[in-house]
């Protein structure tokens, strides 16, 4: 366990730093008023983009905001849905960015959506197969299967990075073009979205290092 934690130390430190950065950036931006609520900003941006069939729903939780491509629905947390702050409109705009990607068939998003079922299965099954292969010598090939399944998870997270960065870029451009924020306010919104993006970078790095650790351990056993 100690070796595993040492191997993952850079990613774990980045995860902690990213979470702290998200909370602090969000807290600062939440104190700066915006001209409309997150839900209103999302609706205006969707309409300006010609997307009239996207529903906007309120969901429980803190920063639980997401876009559901299956049901064409934007789901915003209570603080974002009702909040009239730069934090609220920035996060809502980011989710609108995903809706625009979906409508425009943005290739990395298409690939990510296709990979979701396999990544979900791989995340749950890989550790079980690795443990079975490690405990029972006749079933050692299961380790390779577990590594391959975890590799699918890593692939999903790598593909997800350009999706998230592109959604933020679309969000910032839309916010300025539509006059929802000015250039000075955009700087604060950018800090929130950049901090959020770093959480995805940290999670991806953690998965990559975990995959490398599993492969290293298995190759060591083979020798």
Secondary structure of residue 196 in the 3-state scheme:
helix
Return the number of other C-beta atoms located less than 10 Å from residue 129's C-beta: 21
For residue 205, give its domain range: 2-222
Q: Helix 2-30 crosses helix 183-222 at what angle (to 10 degrees)?
A: 170
CA proximity to 148, closest of 125, 132, 114, 117: 125
Catalytic residue list: 95
pLDDT > 70: percent of the chain: 94
**pLDDT tens column, 121-174:** 888 888 888 888 777 766 667 888 888 999 999 999 999 999 999 999 999 999
Name residues whose C-beta falls within 8 Å of residue 202's C-beta, 6 or more positions apart in sequence.
11, 14, 15, 17, 18
* pLDDT value at residue 222: 53
Place 106 in a pLDDT band, splitting at 50, 70 and 90: very high
* pLDDT value at residue 219: 65
Rounded to whole angstroms, the Cα distance separating 110 from 29 reads: 31
| Total tally of structural domains belonging to the chain | 1
- Compute the average pLDDT of residues 46-65: 94
Start-to-end C-alpha separation, the chain? 21
């Amino acid at each position: 366990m100690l070796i595993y934690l040492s191997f993952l130390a850079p990613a774990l430190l980045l995860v902690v730093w990213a979470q702290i950065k998200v909370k602090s950036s969000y807290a600062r931006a939440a104190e700066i008023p915006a001209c409309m609520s997150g839900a209103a900003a999302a609706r205006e941006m969707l309409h300006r983009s010609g997307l009239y069939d996207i529903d906007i729903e309120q969901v429980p939780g803190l920063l639980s905001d997401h876009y559901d491509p299956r049901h064409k629905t934007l789901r915003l947390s209570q603080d974002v849905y009702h909040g009239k702050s730069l934090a609220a409109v920035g996060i809502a705009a980011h989710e609108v960015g995903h809706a625009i990607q979906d409508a425009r068939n943005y290739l990395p998003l298409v690939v990510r959506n296709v990979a979701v079922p396999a990544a979900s299965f791989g995340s749950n099954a890989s550790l079980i197969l690795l443990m079975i292969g490690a405990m029972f010598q006749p079933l050692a090939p299961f380790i390779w299967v577990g590594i391959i399944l975890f590799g699918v998870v890593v692939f999903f997270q790598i593909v997800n990075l350009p999706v998230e960065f592109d959604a933020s870029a679309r969000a910032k451009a839309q916010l300025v073009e539509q006059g929802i924020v000015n250039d000075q306010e955009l700087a604060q919104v950018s800090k929130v979205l950049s901090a959020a993006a770093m959480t995805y970078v940290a999670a991806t790095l953690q998965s990559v290092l975990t995959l490398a650790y599993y492969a290293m351990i298995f190759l060591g056993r083979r020798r």
